[in-house]
Amino acid sequence: MTIRESTEQWEQEYLSPYAAFSRASKGRDAPEPPCDIRPVYQRDRDRILHCKSFRRLKHKTQVFLTPRGDHYRTRLTHTLEVAQTARTVAKALRLNEDLTEAIALGHDLGHTPFGHAGERALNGLCSKGFAHYEQSVRVVERLEKQGRGLNLTWEVRDGIRNHRTNGSPYTLEGQIVRFADKIAYINHDIDDAIRAGILEEADIPREYRDILGHSTRERLNTLIHDIVMQNADWLRERPEEEPVERPKLRMSQEVGGAMQDLRSFMFKSLYTNPLAKSEEIKAQELLEALFSYYMEHPEEMSEEFLDMLFKEHEEKELVVCDYISGMTDQYAIYKFNEYFIPKAWSI
């Protein structure tokens, strides 16, 4: 028996009967020989962790554009916080940690420079629209590895695509990431807003703090415990027959409702706050200018995107969106300066 087979056997004996077992995966688009050490979801996690798109997240905006300070979240640190929260819940519920972590690490790979401001810009420019969760899937299926993609399992791609608020992940592990994403960004965005002087803890309505907690640490503890306590018992029970509908994780009405209300409060107080968002119009106009430039001068894109355009005959606006969405904040600014800002004369 290989190490992988031993791990798969352990999953069958230890994990919840509702877990996504590695040996029961729906598989990859391109079949591969199994690894003798790692089950399929562990391989997916490793592929995501080592891909270029993951590394670029460290230079992409989470909420604050070009903040002055080293401690504000980036898209990478957000991703790591989502992964840690999701793994904690998965472990407590005896669900598949490797699948959960793979989805969490990959869920934002397709995010644009300048966060949701960049996403809105590309969505308005591309006739087919642009959404970061769909782009994240395109990254792992099409763009990574010089167009070969990462060839991830179906379950990981489904979780990435459905991590958004109105998504419906097929696996319970994907549902964990969907919860963990909100838990992470609500709390770390409050922390960053307090650091920036935009909010104070006392500004959060008392009715939410009384339920969820009076600090980031207390709120994380409350939210994570609520998911675990609401689902631990039924996940241990082996169903007598196949359920008619896919099971769903739940939160208590009190805690889940307070989290949604706090999220609404954050939209009003931070996500649309002029102090936090004053640079977003500039960022959107910058990406609009780059989009127009590359539509007129596609030869300026890198070779792998030219191959997509001229050899594989992908639609131009789609390839341009691929190219721009993969940029970091600083690289987008650098290319804008190169194309549109006059340079000093050489003497």
Whether pLDDT at 343 is above 90: no
**pLDDT digit string, tens, across residues 255-286:** 999 999 999 999 888 887 777 667 888 999 99
DSSP code for 196: T
Whether pLDDT at 337 is above 70: yes
Cβ-proximal residues to 312 (8 Å cutoff; 6+ apart), any chain: 147
pLDDT at residue 243, as a whole number: 66
Domains of the chain (ranges; CATH) run 36-238+248-278 (1.10.3210.10)
Whether pLDDT at 347 is above 60: no
**pLDDT digit string, tens, across residues 43-61:** 999 999 999 999 999 999 8
pLDDT at residue 237, as a whole number: 84
> Residue 196 — pLDDT band, cuts 50, 70, 90?
confident
Phi, psi values for residue 303, rounded to 5°: -60, -40
Using CA atoms, how far apart are residues 65 and 43, in angstroms rounded to an integer? 34
pLDDT at residue 303, as a whole number: 94
Residue 236, CA distances (Å) to 44, 126, 170, 345 in order: 26, 46, 19, 72
pLDDT at residue 70, as a whole number: 84
Contact 110, 133 (CB under 8 A): yes
Residue with tokens 């060839």: 151
Using CA atoms, how far apart are residues 102 and 53, in angstroms rounded to an integer? 14
Please, what sign has the CA dihedral across residues 115, 120, 123, 126?
Answer: negative
